[in-house]
Structure 1
């Protein structure tokens, strides 16, 4: 026995229209779900934190250290004097040589981030060498009692998509900056203060240095903190800044 089906053209068009609308609606919903995902995800591309949308008038002062010990202690004294907490990104090879200063940073309530071990430009290294550098850094921080460094600042500030993927595999999130004090150029205390105070807004991450090569940072820091208090800003760690805030990030190609 044979069966014949008579197709109604109008009904087919109607059902195709309904299916098309359902597909578009589902696609929009899916895209919205992707947009709401954490910025730490590598989809659609790796990202690095450079500032957050913060309505609490908070700034994150961050200090890179890879050389010397005098300036680091002076910077710590200024921060302690004003009751300001900050994040210190340490080269692990430096930390290994200066455990006493590392201990003081922790005891003063500051946050420690990693800058790898040898302070080499990761974008110029093969994946295997980056992995070895990060592993060596982790070993040093573990020995110093710092079991977890959630944030990493790429040595020399340079990174790309491949670097971010390797760093992410070690449990780090790359933190860049949105305000550059340019203190490493030693342009003068006034210039350093101006570079920060004229550009910083709530949610910004400020780049400073506590290596001995940045000779004017401590003096400038005193004035920067005074300005922060006058303007109603509070200095916090990176962890505190990103907590319950909308993180701004940039996709790395």
Structure 2
């Protein structure tokens, strides 16, 4: 009888150990997955958009370079794409007014990517405001006056950046699908990254010179989205037509 109780005690102890180990394993997996999901809003405060519920939005960041933006615009035109959102660095826009004008004339939406390539989560509030104001002035000089969307230059932002962007009248926009095209992993890999897209996703692409494979990947991406019956819209259309999603900054 004593042996019976000792044996069960060991079993119970083993079960407890296994249970605790399973709990922490699940917790670490949860945390790992959570870290990969961007966080975009302050509680009861300004919010950043990273996803909607209907359609998909192609977004292109352009921060620098002289060669890749035009071929990407050519490809979009050839493929009959009428809805896309370009987030432009104002310093780039100043150097390429003809391309800014073309983006606007061809009906694509223009969002702001700040002025300089600075991390909004690591600089003082004053510097964020100065960067946004400087970009705002630059776009006005280019007769681009109705910008409502802002994307942090490096993709990183915090409570302060959200509040300042709202103060200047902009909605902060992130993304839910990262093509990782700027790493130049290969055309097929870029397409595979985007192929995860579903209704409501905002897709990040680049038209800067560092993304040398995006132009060739675009036809594949567009074909993939078409096969999934996903309609392309601008970010503003997504915001207007569907419930958008945010996550709280912890």
TM-score range, shorter chain: 0.7 to 0.9
Specify whether residues 41 and 50 from structure 1 end up closer, same or farther in structure 2 by C-alpha distance, changes over 3 A only: closer
Q: Which residue of 2 aligns with 1:132?
A: 130
- Deviation track 1:189-233 (CA, whole Å, cap 9, x = no partner) reads 010000001x10011000000001100001111110112222222
Query: What's the CA shift for 1:42?
Result: 6.0
- Higher Rg: 1
- Structure 1, unpaired ranges of 5+: 1-39
Query: What's the CA shift for 1:238?
Result: 0.5
- Using the size of structure 1 for normalisation, the TM-score is 0.80
Superposed, 1:96-245 pairs within 5 Å as: 96-197=94-195, 199-245=196-242
SS of 1:187's equivalent?
A: coil
- Deviation track 1:136-165 (CA, whole Å, cap 9, x = no partner) reads 100001011111211111110000111100
8 Å Cα contact 1:116-1:134 kept in structure 2: yes
- Structure 2, unpaired ranges of 5+: 1-39
Query: What's the CA shift for 1:111?
Result: 0.3
SS of 2:232's equivalent?
A: strand
| Residues matched between the structures, number | 210
Q: Which residue of 2 aligns with 1:50?
A: 50
CA RMSD for the aligned pairs? 1.5
Q: Distance in 2 between matches of 1:177 and 1:163?
A: 16
Q: Which residue of 2 aligns with 1:13?
A: none
Q: Distance in 2 between matches of 1:133 and 1:74?
A: 29
Match among 56, 69, 75 for residue 66 of structure 2 = 69
